[in-house]
Amino acid sequence: MALGNRIWLNLFSRKTATAWLMPLLICGIAISPLFAQDIPDEPTDGFYKRPVTSRADTSSPRATLTSFLDACEELHALILEHHYLDPELPAHRALSMRILDCLDTSQLPEYSRVDRGGEAAVCLKEILDREELPSVEDIPDADAFQDLDAKHAIFRWRIPGTRITIARVEEGPQRHEYLFTPGTVARAAEYYEDMKDLPYRQTGRPVTEGLHRWYISSPHSETVAAIVDKLPAAARDRKFGLTLWKWPGLLIALIVAIGLMACVYVLQRKIVTHVKSRGLFFYCISILFPIAAILIPIGFKRVVSDVVTLRATPLYIVSFAADLVTLMATAVVVFGVWNRIAEIIISSPRIHPKGLDAQLIRILAKLASLVGVAVIFLEGGKYLGIPLTTLLASAGVGGLAIALAAQDTLKSLFGTLTLMADKPFRVGERIVFQNYDGVVEDIGLRSTRVRLLTGHQVTVPNDELARIDIENVARRTHVRRVADIHIPLNTPINLVEEAVSIVRKLLEDHEGMAPGYPPRVFFDKFNDDSFNLRFFYWYHPPDYWQYLDFSQRLNVEICRAFEERDIPFSLPKRITYTSTKSKSQPVEVKLVDRSQEASEE
């Protein structure tokens, strides 16, 4: 109970409240546009001039063209009446869906399929309003197919005098329906640009004059429409592909989105490291920051689409950029989630947090993250309109190029697997290899970083570590010391024996004596200038600094005991040649050339 109270107090303390509430606030701001407007459940009576069917009739070219024109004319009437177009309203949405039902949008990028389809529909209607349409009797209908076998069946029909084609779909959910072809839909805006300066026709079906202009400039909500109606006419002019009144809204939304992303990034950098040291629970909660980074571009896209009401190319650019940022933020979330999963597993008491098992779990988490990110970008690329075959081909070619260019890295990766299997060391252990002596700081996929005793850091490829001999100093069970004491040759033998006894007594049951490793002292050999006493002892546990402290005290005790019993230490043997004139001067050496003396004689 006390622990739970401390956790709640920490969560809601003044210092941490901002840290945890900020991501929630950001999330709320990001998704607030989703709930900014109330949507009626049923269409109001004034919206429909006649009943609207749930789907368009696309059983023949005649039915498709008629359904398309009728729905466009009804939607145009609604726009003129209400001065805005809101696809979320049931009346507007029903007519919009009837229009889109007539188009084959299967080849359009998924991220902008509805918006591009809407633009294509408006452009097609503007084109048809400038062309003389054939009479209804001249357009093939379903009855015309009943007397034709499959060999002579009509699968495509082009509107006379235009490049607009209606064809039967042979596969997919709209199989055997007659729709405006993908080529027509994709190039509708281009066709309209070629014909927009032509006058509207004066005969035949009613024309929806100004439909494209209304589509580009009309707002989505009634509130914004009322504000736009009060603006001067110049505010509805287009500059750089966008209506003037939309530019301030786009810039404000962009600045707010960038500011929120920057805040999330800064807070994430400052807080995550701090909360990780406070406990696993706080570290897991910090995943809210990357999640907020996902919601911000989603909210930004919703704002510019539904509030600012971007259309056509500006909307596609903004949507593409926002979705790309969303994919990148999702990749960060995937990495963060797997990292936290790894830390949760490592927190088990059975796993040493700095052991090779922990490092292997972290590496597997990174590999899983890479696989997840690859799937995200494959699916995301497909969503953004990049063909899957292109993505796979690019991944294959890129993978081959990377494999050829990263042979050393792959060797290091296999070396990493070897180290993981053999486990010769772990993070935090002191190792000695080649000419290096230091503490392992990190074991990565490619290399291992070691902090040398000099303070320098050395990075060694894992494949090289897997091939060389490694001395793991940290895993020693004790510290072994072997030392020699030299006693002069003119020392009486009884003093030599006493010296051996003194050292043995000082080492008897000494501090840190390793079990099963009693100390050893021997008069083992004669040197050229001294008797040699050699002693061994093993210090346990292998704390190097405690070992040095004990060795120092032992050396002092040996010196003191030898001094009390007048046992001398042998000095290093030196030979000094002095001059006959003075013992402080060196001998004078003169070289004589005997061959020259012989020639003179």
Query: Both 200 and 286 in a single domain?
Result: no
Residue 374: predicted pLDDT: 84
Domain membership of residue 396 as a residue range: 2-30+245-409
Q: Are 270 and 253 in contact (CB under 8 A)?
A: no
pLDDT at 538: 94
| Cα gap 11→24, rounded to integer Å | 14
| pLDDT value of position 410 | 67
CA distances from 324 to 38, 76, 330 (A): 29, 34, 10
Stated as kind and residue range, the H or E segment containing 504 is helix 493-507
Between strands 457-461 and 447-452, the pairing is antiparallel
State how many domains the chain has.
3
* Residue 457: inside a domain: no
User: How far, CA to CA in Å, does 19 sit from each of 16, 372, 375, 497, 525?
Assistant: 5, 28, 32, 74, 73
Calculate ∠ Cα 554-557-559, nearest 5°.
110
Domain boundary residue, one of 409, 425, 449: 409
Q: Let me know if residue 456 belongs to a domain.
A: no
pLDDT score of 43? 37
Looking at the fold, whether 208 and 268 belong to one and the same domain comes out as no
Query: Does residue 405 lie within any of the structural domains?
Result: yes
Cβ partners under 8 Å of residue 65, min gap 6? 102, 139, 159, 166
Same domain, 270 and 317: yes
pLDDT in tens, 410-420: 677 778 778 87
Identify the CATH number of the domain in which residue 529 sits: 3.30.70.100
**At 459, which helix (H) or strand (E)?**
strand 457-461
Do 100 and 25 share a structural domain?
A: no
* Residues contacting residue 198 through CB under 8 Å, at least 6 positions apart: 130
173 occurs within a structural domain: yes
User: CA 408 → CA 403, 417, 445, 458, distances in Å?
Assistant: 9, 14, 12, 18
Query: 150 with 255, same domain?
Result: no
Largest CA distance in the chain: 146
Kindly state whether residues 159 and 289 are assigned to the same domain: no
- The pLDDT assigned to 142 comes to 72
8-state DSSP, 239: E
Same domain, 204 and 322: no
- By the 8 A CB rule, do 312 and 216 touch? yes
CA distance 517 to 476: 14
Same domain, 302 and 378: yes
Residues 61 and 200 reside in one and the same domain: yes
Query: Sign (positive/negative) of CA torsion 388, 389, 390, 394?
Result: positive
CA-CA distances (angstroms) from residue 14 to 9, 10, 76? Answer: 9, 9, 56
- Which of the listed residues 409, 427, 444 is the one where a domain comes to its end? 409
Q: What residues of the chain score a pLDDT lower than 50?
A: 1-53
CB atoms within 10 A of CB 3: 7
pLDDT at 3: 34
In a domain, 334, yes or no: yes
Q: Residue 337 falls within a domain, yes or no?
A: yes
Same-domain pairing of 180 and 265: no
Residues 6 or more apart whose CB falls under 8 angstroms from that of 270 comprise: none
Does residue 579 sit within a domain?
Answer: no
The domain boundary residue, chosen from 220, 255, 272: 220
On whether both 483 and 336 belong to a single domain, the answer is no
Within 10 Å of residue 117's Cβ, how many Cβ atoms?
22
Distances (CA, A) of 321 to 66, 106, 147, 252, 261: 37, 22, 52, 16, 14
Q: Which secondary-structure segment (H or E) carries 462?
A: helix 462-467
Report if residue 74 sits inside a domain. Answer: yes
Q: Any idea what DSSP says for residue 307?
A: I
pTM for the complete prediction? 0.59
- What is the rounded CA–CA span in Å between residue 333 and residue 287? 7
Is there a single domain that holds both residue 187 and residue 49?
Answer: yes
